[in-house]
Amino acid sequence: MISADLTGKRSIVSGGASGIGLGVTRAFAENGSTVAIADLPGERLSGTVHTLQAEGLDVFEAPCDLRDNDSVVAMVEAASERMGGIDYLLNIAGHPVTLQTIPASDLESQTEELWAEALSINLLSAFRTAKAAAPYLTEARGAIVNTASMSGWRGGGSSSPYSVAKGGLITLTKELARGLAPEVRVNAISPSYVHPDSTNFPIRWATVFEDSESLPLGRPGTAAEYADACLFLCAGASYITGQTIHVDGGWSA
Ligand SMILES: NC(=O)c1ccc[n+]([C@@H]2O[C@H](COP(=O)([O-])OP(=O)(O)OC[C@H]3O[C@@H](n4cnc5c(N)ncnc54)[C@H](O)[C@@H]3O)[C@@H](O)[C@H]2O)c1
């Protein structure tokens, strides 16, 4: 597990109430950062904040719906005001939008509504938060980490709209890296299989263990292993921007 001195740092973690985002929230808070947990309002968010605060971690609720730009702007403004600025933006939230896999051959099921929803939560959400946080990140000379997917690199995700949104996120990462340089570094991480115990992702692959046996590392990754890469990209990696790191157990090797 990587450690870094994040004392005095101010982070927003989207999707931080569960799964990979919770692992990232925990890692950043345990290393000294204040963390605004940007997630849908409700019991999941308040329960996570309550649990982490009881452990002595400096986290707070930043309720929002990442599909709505006004909601994102209000969340970022409130979080920045409370923390006195923003150093790191961790865009972890995403959603498959469908509850069952849609094969790429099933064009009929790929409706306009499905495309709009998949692009909104998996691609535009990251642009919305980056746009709202950009002035604060620029002032702090901070960093952004986006969450792509191996399906954004090669296709083959739970649906074509999901894969395309994640592919777009890899390109958005390069565009933001150019657009916000030199003050703000922007990178992405692509996970492959994440251990089902550490995520609430609505599509669960029944074959996750079987599939990950064929990986060079022979097992699914954990949220904590993903968080390690986030710590590296934010607290170190001072000459790295516009890149997508594959935290995939060797899936792409
Ligand atoms: N789990 C995997 O195996 C896997 C593989 C590849 C990529 N990913 C990506 O990793 C990221 C995290 O996935 P996870 O497995 O931790 O999922 P998860 O469902 O456990 O966590 C996602 C979080 O995002 C929040 N969220 C969803 N929609 C939101 C909205 N509209 N506004 C605000 N918050 C919202 C949820 O409430 C939840 O807390 C996603 O971007 C996903 O696409 C996951």
* pLDDT at res. 198: 83
* pLDDT at res. 83: 98
* pLDDT at res. 44: 97
For 199, residues 6+ apart whose C-beta sits below 8 A from its C-beta are 18, 19, 20, 223
The enclosing domain of 221 has a CATH number of 3.40.50.720
Residue listed under structure tokens 């890899």: 170
* pLDDT at res. 196: 82
Closest by Cα among 86, 189, 186, 166 to 132: 86
* pLDDT at res. 80: 98
Total domains, the chain: 1
Determine, yes or no, domain membership for 112.
yes
Determine, yes or no, domain membership for 127.
yes
* pLDDT at res. 209: 86
* pLDDT at res. 89: 99
* pLDDT at res. 47: 98
Q: Identify the active-site residue in 162, 193, 226, 239.
A: 162
> What does residue 161 show for φ and ψ, rounded to 5 degrees?
-60, -40
Determine, yes or no, domain membership for 4.
no
Determine, yes or no, domain membership for 104.
yes
Whole-number Å distance, alpha carbon 149 to ligand 1 midpoint, is 11
Are the C-beta atoms of 204 and 196 separated by less than 8 Å?
A: yes
Whole-number Å distance, alpha carbon 94 to ligand 1 midpoint, is 4
* pLDDT at res. 200: 85
- CA 43 vs. chain centroid, Å, equals 20
Whole-number Å distance, alpha carbon 16 to ligand 1 midpoint, is 9
Determine, yes or no, domain membership for 252.
no
* pLDDT at res. 207: 81
- Considering only CA atoms, which residue is closest to atom 43 of ligand 1? 94
Which range of residues forms the domain containing residue 179? 10-247
- Residue ranges of the chain with per-residue pLDDT less than 70: none
Determine, yes or no, domain membership for 3.
no
Determine if ligand 1 sits within 6 Å of the CB of residue 15: yes
Determine, yes or no, domain membership for 81.
yes
Determine, yes or no, domain membership for 1.
no
Catalytic site includes residue 239: no
